[in-house]
Structure 1
């Protein structure tokens, strides 16, 4: 524990809608348990958490709209509308009393008109340590959250695949220039939740010269545990779980899971879905729980499942895998992003080659047949993601500043 009691201010767009906001809220709890004062400022507050809402609701909405309208004339098509954020609209939060009083300012996901590139720059020029936990690549690209195979972020962006008229001096290059200049302060310290994202940040021309440390998100391993209430499911069946904020979001890869399900025994195996209704016909009988906001009910679903599957096309360090592991449920995912760092292949679960439905099905079968993967998943969650462990890693990094 840090000898000095710190005043830490966390910043994120939303406190409960999305993995980054949830992760920041959990970090708040973890740091408070270590005896520090932590305030959590958000643009949008959607839960009963102790987060504090910054700004007027109407003005916040208008800035979100302004950001989207600004990008509208540049976007290639509507399919990429939320895959690229310019970062030109936001609010100057640097004069907020809590920011002025803070020992540590700690950013998380701050897009959608919360903080612009220039607003982040204002924070780094306050002559106090600023930490930024990256949940995707936006901080070191010209605007995209995940670049895929594109490596323009290693040079100067431009010729962006997300834009209508890509060229060397397009919007992505101009925003790269703004970040290259604006994020140059040495008191900006970078945290990534996975080594995968950390390595990408080190390769970038924007953040490559900064101190970058990998610290995973925290989870309450006493709350997320195998000891959950029954859902009344058939004890003679095996259950495969899929979770997403939006089941039909292309990047979540449900279409690949659907292909994989064809290889499973429909007589003994059923599907649990969290995140919305599926109108299409599926190879297995499905139990659809819709959107769930109650963490206790979500915990019970994780614990009831025999295997959790995340067929995402791109990921950093998914909270869902951490939650499933803590509930003693084996996990399966593709070899993308930070997923291979979380799942020990054929120990706590199975890592399939990227976007191979047949091998994904093989992994699901392996987990369903394993007698130890669930127990070992729980042990790994306790070792890596426990609140105390993660809080102390953050405090040690704060102390270096």
Structure 2
């Protein structure tokens, strides 16, 4: 079966999840191609799709200004499905049997999806957050408007055109009704079932996978030593791509650490300098307020180093307030390190108390601290963590479940007639709502282009002046060379001979 997978990136949380499914499908004998907008992995089965058209540059500017740069501090990302990379790429998937969409913000538009469906391709959309069912946000922070209309988005600082509501209405009107939704967690499946967009769609739950041959335990003492810790040091790990994002629970982590310091066992570790918090992700000044030694490793994408970090840790603290099925939870378990997490999202599917970690009532930072202390004080779960990951999260486990779903849909679609109608490049409702925004983005982009042209002309003039000076100096050198006396030339020759003698 030929499978076309689409993901905006091939890296990051959602991109890595799509890449792992792609690799797993090829590993079990299927023919999968991963189409991306941003390619970082050197693999000839990953194809980068780009469009140099000016209208896409305008949409990029529009989405940046109206969505990605237009959220309150601490909120989640907001984005749109625009710009599409155009429609020429559709010719490249004509002989594919099925299309699997993943995280496609700023990559595949609503119009593209309908065009794909009208080609007769069954579509499976794997959700990695709530954005496909909302008008803008990727996590709702408890907002329930996605169940009806997404009017007056509470996460956007400026929403004078009510774009989120318009985009949600367009999704309701134009998204093909037979798209099958897959979510990695039951929580996200429940969100989809309650959403205005997907409540009448078929929804399946298939957890993510990971490379259990890469993410595996290594000797804990050696791993600690590699990070600069003694064998007796207890290590608490916390990681997030952006520590400033409120839903990741970094503020709660600081409060958890305050409670941890009150524990008698932990206070003894601190006195003996045998406790350290390790973080990876973009740093935050709040780390200094914890008053416990910490090591911030910054953003890390090296899998061997990640394996060392997970293996060195005695517990992963995961205080997310909203999350789907974080890769770092699966990676930590595969390396034998238990997880303490709030009982939210995909953590409810995975964490089993006293077997591979602990679930804690949301925002109960005191109990969270107690569970971390209990884990550090000899509650061994390493063996079960590893066996649980091997049984449930190997690449082929996920790939086989997807293959079964794909085959079922492919067999069904062969007997279904597809009504082919013309799909516009941009639906009228969206074009009308975004017209002013697009004009603003066009003007701003033209100003940037004009500024770039002025700067380019300035640099050209500087280069011309420098070249003139170089030519002048070269002429001066020629003149001085011509004026050299025979005695001067003789002295040069004598000096060269003397220097050779000295060198010998």
Name the SS of the counterpart of 1:206 in structure 2: coil
- The alignment's TM-score, normalised by the length of structure 1, stands at 0.90
Q: Deviations over 1:82-126 (max 9, x none)?
A: 632233422234743432221111111011x21222222322322
Q: Which runs of 5+ in 2 are unaligned?
A: 410-504
Name the SS of the counterpart of 1:158 in structure 2: coil
C-alpha distance in structure 2 between counterparts of 1:377 and 1:142, whole Å: 38
The answer to whether 1:342 aligns with 2:363 is no
Q: Are the counterparts in 2 of residues 94 and 126 from structure 1 also a CA contact under 8 Å?
A: no
User: 1:72 Cα shift?
Assistant: 8.1
C-alpha distance in structure 2 between counterparts of 1:239 and 1:293, whole Å: 20
1:236 maps to what in 2?
232
User: 1:386 Cα shift?
Assistant: 1.3
Name the SS of the counterpart of 1:257 in structure 2: helix
Aligned with residue 389 of structure 2, among 373, 376, 381:
381
> Aligned pair in 2 of structure 1 residues 306, 68: CA closer, same or farther (>3 Å)?
same
1:196 maps to what in 2?
187
C-alpha distance in structure 1 between counterparts of 2:139 and 2:176, whole Å: 22
Following superposition of structure 1 onto structure 2, how do residues 278-317 of structure 1 map, counting pairs within 5 Å?
A: 278-279=284-285, 280-281=287-288, 282-317=290-325
> May I ask how many residue pairs the two structures share in their alignment?
390
1:67 maps to what in 2?
63
Q: Are the counterparts in 1 of residues 187 and 345 from structure 2 also a CA contact under 8 Å?
A: yes
Structure with the greater alpha carbon radius of gyration: 2
Q: Are the counterparts in 1 of residues 243 and 281 from structure 2 also a CA contact under 8 Å?
A: yes
Name the SS of the counterpart of 2:292 in structure 1: coil
Q: Are the counterparts in 1 of residues 277 and 293 from structure 2 also a CA contact under 8 Å?
A: yes
Q: Are the counterparts in 1 of residues 280 and 300 from structure 2 also a CA contact under 8 Å?
A: yes
User: 1:195 Cα shift?
Assistant: 0.5
C-alpha distance in structure 2 between counterparts of 1:157 and 1:28, whole Å: 33
Name the SS of the counterpart of 1:147 in structure 2: coil
2:8 maps to what in 1?
13
1:134 maps to what in 2?
127
Aligned with residue 173 of structure 1, among 161, 165, 169:
165
The answer to whether 1:326 aligns with 2:334 is yes
User: 1:367 Cα shift?
Assistant: 1.9
Following superposition of structure 1 onto structure 2, how do residues 382-401 of structure 1 map, counting pairs within 5 Å?
A: 382-401=390-409
C-alpha distance in structure 1 between counterparts of 2:385 and 2:87, whole Å: 41
1:158 maps to what in 2?
151
User: 1:14 Cα shift?
Assistant: 0.7
2:206 maps to what in 1?
215
Name the SS of the counterpart of 1:79 in structure 2: coil
Q: Which moved more, 1:36-45 or 1:286-295?
A: 286-295
Q: Are the counterparts in 1 of residues 344 and 362 from structure 2 also a CA contact under 8 Å?
A: yes
Name the SS of the counterpart of 1:341 in structure 2: helix
The answer to whether 1:147 aligns with 2:140 is yes
User: 1:62 Cα shift?
Assistant: 5.4
Q: Are the counterparts in 2 of residues 15 and 24 from structure 1 also a CA contact under 8 Å?
A: yes
> Aligned pair in 2 of structure 1 residues 166, 45: CA closer, same or farther (>3 Å)?
closer
C-alpha distance in structure 2 between counterparts of 1:271 and 1:72, whole Å: 31
> Aligned pair in 2 of structure 1 residues 302, 118: CA closer, same or farther (>3 Å)?
same
> Aligned pair in 2 of structure 1 residues 163, 284: CA closer, same or farther (>3 Å)?
closer
Q: Are the counterparts in 1 of residues 4 and 32 from structure 2 also a CA contact under 8 Å?
A: yes
Q: Deviations over 1:255-302 (max 9, x none)?
A: 221221222422332111112344442322112222212111111110
Following superposition of structure 1 onto structure 2, how do residues 3-42 of structure 1 map, counting pairs within 5 Å?
A: 6-16=1-11, 18-42=12-36
C-alpha distance in structure 2 between counterparts of 1:160 and 1:379, whole Å: 44
Following superposition of structure 1 onto structure 2, how do residues 241-260 of structure 1 map, counting pairs within 5 Å?
A: 241-260=237-256
The answer to whether 1:100 aligns with 2:108 is no
Q: Are the counterparts in 2 of residues 92 and 122 from structure 1 also a CA contact under 8 Å?
A: no
User: 1:78 Cα shift?
Assistant: 4.1
User: 1:37 Cα shift?
Assistant: 1.1
> Aligned pair in 2 of structure 1 residues 80, 58: CA closer, same or farther (>3 Å)?
farther
Alignment RMSD: 2.4
Q: Which moved more, 1:100-109 or 1:268-277?
A: 268-277
C-alpha distance in structure 2 between counterparts of 1:315 and 1:208, whole Å: 20
- The alignment's TM-score, normalised by the length of structure 2, stands at 0.72
> Aligned pair in 2 of structure 1 residues 230, 83: CA closer, same or farther (>3 Å)?
closer
The answer to whether 1:52 aligns with 2:43 is no
C-alpha distance in structure 2 between counterparts of 1:400 and 1:260, whole Å: 47
Q: Are the counterparts in 2 of residues 31 and 391 from structure 1 also a CA contact under 8 Å?
A: yes
Name the SS of the counterpart of 1:101 in structure 2: coil
Name the SS of the counterpart of 1:96 in structure 2: helix
Aligned with residue 224 of structure 1, among 206, 210, 215:
215
